[in-house]
Amino acid sequence: MSALALLGGDPVRTALFPGYRVIGDDERAAVNRVMDTGILSQFIGGWHPDFFGGPEVQAFEAEWAAAYGCAHAVSVNSATSGLFAAMGAAGVGPGDEVIVSPYTMSASAVAPLVYNAVPVFADIDPLTYTLCPDSIRARITKRTRAIIVVHIFGQAADMDAIMAIAAEHGLVVIEDCAQVPFATRHGKPVGTLGHMGVFSLNYHKHIHTGEGGVVTTNDPNFAERVQMIRNHAENAVIGKGVTDLTNLIGFNYRLGEIEAAIGRCQLRRGPDLIRQRQDNVAYLEAGLAGLSGLTMPHVPNANTHVYYVHVMRYDAAVTGVTRETLVKAIAAELPATELREQDGALIRFGYVKPLYLLPLFQQQQGYGALQCPFKCPHYDGVPTYGQGLCPNTEEAHRTVITHELMRPPMSRADLDAVLAAFHKVWDHLDDLRRLDDAAAA
């Protein structure tokens, strides 16, 4: 058997993996349909028949709501915008706290800051990496106004328990669904379980329009407020007859007609793209079974997992090889992916650093000389962002291995190369132990 590529041997494979392309002829035709009209956005930022956008935007929203079985789907130009709008719609403001996850893309934790509220980090469940209900409960104060639940990596948080806590305390629950389109919990679409769901249509997501997002809700008041915040609320309130102006300073979070037209195709394509990810993960997991120290993701019975990334736990005490060395050795066996050649093999140790360790939270500078909202005169809590705040998150950060090597259009032959790389590395653990020992000496 050849030596590890990390130690100068031949890699398992050098031909690039296929690039992530989920856009095809349907999308091209949809774009041309819009191009032919010459109207690339039909929004008007005031009370007018076009306040709700053009035909593609409105059709996309109706189709999304139908697919999700929810009353309202409001398109926005990113999930980040959607989260900000949801904070505004929920009435979050100065002096409030919003419970957030530390193990997510930063937008889901900084959204409260846009309305001058303080993010309070609860810890994650070590098995699903989603917010732990007991930890949420422990962080609730008289100032808590909302919870941003992140359904991370492809599956839902324990929404049953979280909605019960929210009902008890009168909290608004926003589901960050950027990583879980078409995932279900108890057979229901994730994103319709809380008060508002926020989806991303960014290029990296399961389905995409380049940039874009959708906010789902069954509450007509939240839907109206998100629509207002999306499109210059201040110009529309008189015409629309809206009298509660709380947080209704409008932004421009509008999605264009081209993106909406692409989104309609992607929505139809979604279930098939998800099935490919699930099939690929099942194949990989069968092939990885039995590798010492490696644990596959836990999927509670209530959930379907849609695998935004495939996250495994690695126990270095079992193999005697550090996670960093192990991942470097696997990566050295594998090629990069077309369109992302500069990123190397798409396997990493860790996901994101616990977000409370970002300079934003460590320095708590915030807005202006008063350092709002952290030290704002309206806020009578004490922001807490120290190392050790969320032990399960810090542990996950130290022990997970994540990869994207199950994304369409990876073929069985591509997946076999991935499996061969893992097995080759596990067959050479002795060499890697020696490498780690030499580095430690």
Ligand X SMILES: *Cc1c(COP(=O)(O)O)cnc(C)c1O
Q: Which residues bind ligand X (CB under 6 A)?
A: 78-80, 104-105, 107-108, 150, 176, 178-179, 200, 202, 213
Structure tokens at 217: 């809700």
Question: At its nearest, how many Å lie between ligand X and the CB of residue 244?
Answer: 27
Give the helix ranges, DSSP H, for 187-322.
220-230, 233-240, 257-288, 316-319
Would the CA dihedral through 204, 108, 155, 77 be positive or negative? Answer: negative
Question: At its nearest, how many Å lie between ligand X and the CB of residue 206?
Answer: 11
Structure tokens at 58: 């409105």
Beta bridge partners of 100: 121
Please say which residue, 322 or 393, places its beta carbon nearer to ligand X. Answer: 393
Please say which residue, 108 or 247, places its beta carbon nearer to ligand X. Answer: 108
Please say which residue, 158 or 414, places its beta carbon nearer to ligand X. Answer: 158
Question: At its nearest, how many Å lie between ligand X and the CB of residue 200?
Answer: 3
Q: What whole-number distance in Å separates Cα of residue 350 and Cα of residue 33?
A: 43
Strand 172-176, strand 196-200: pairing: parallel
Please say which residue, 97 or 176, places its beta carbon nearer to ligand X. Answer: 176
Structure tokens at 199: 């989806």
How buried is residue 131: exposed, middle or buried, by Cβ count under 10 Å (0-12/13-18/19+)?
buried
Please say which residue, 321 or 355, places its beta carbon nearer to ligand X. Answer: 355
Please say which residue, 339 or 419, places its beta carbon nearer to ligand X. Answer: 339
Please say which residue, 177 or 372, places its beta carbon nearer to ligand X. Answer: 177
Cβ contact 130:155 at 8 Å: yes
| 69 C-beta neighbours (distance < 10 Å), count | 11
- Whether the link from the prior residue into 373 is cis, omega within 30° of 0, is yes
Among candidate residues 336, 338, 304, the one with its CA nearest the CA of residue 403? 336
Question: At its nearest, how many Å lie between ligand X and the CB of residue 47?
Answer: 28
Question: At its nearest, how many Å lie between ligand X and the CB of residue 107?
Answer: 4
Cβ contact 12:335 at 8 Å: no
Question: At its nearest, how many Å lie between ligand X and the CB of residue 100?
Answer: 11
Structure tokens at 261: 């037209």
Q: What whole-number distance in Å separates Cα of residue 212 and Cα of residue 202?
A: 6
Question: At its nearest, how many Å lie between ligand X and the CB of residue 102?
Answer: 12
Question: At its nearest, how many Å lie between ligand X and the CB of residue 213?
Answer: 5
Please say which residue, 97 or 175, places its beta carbon nearer to ligand X. Answer: 175
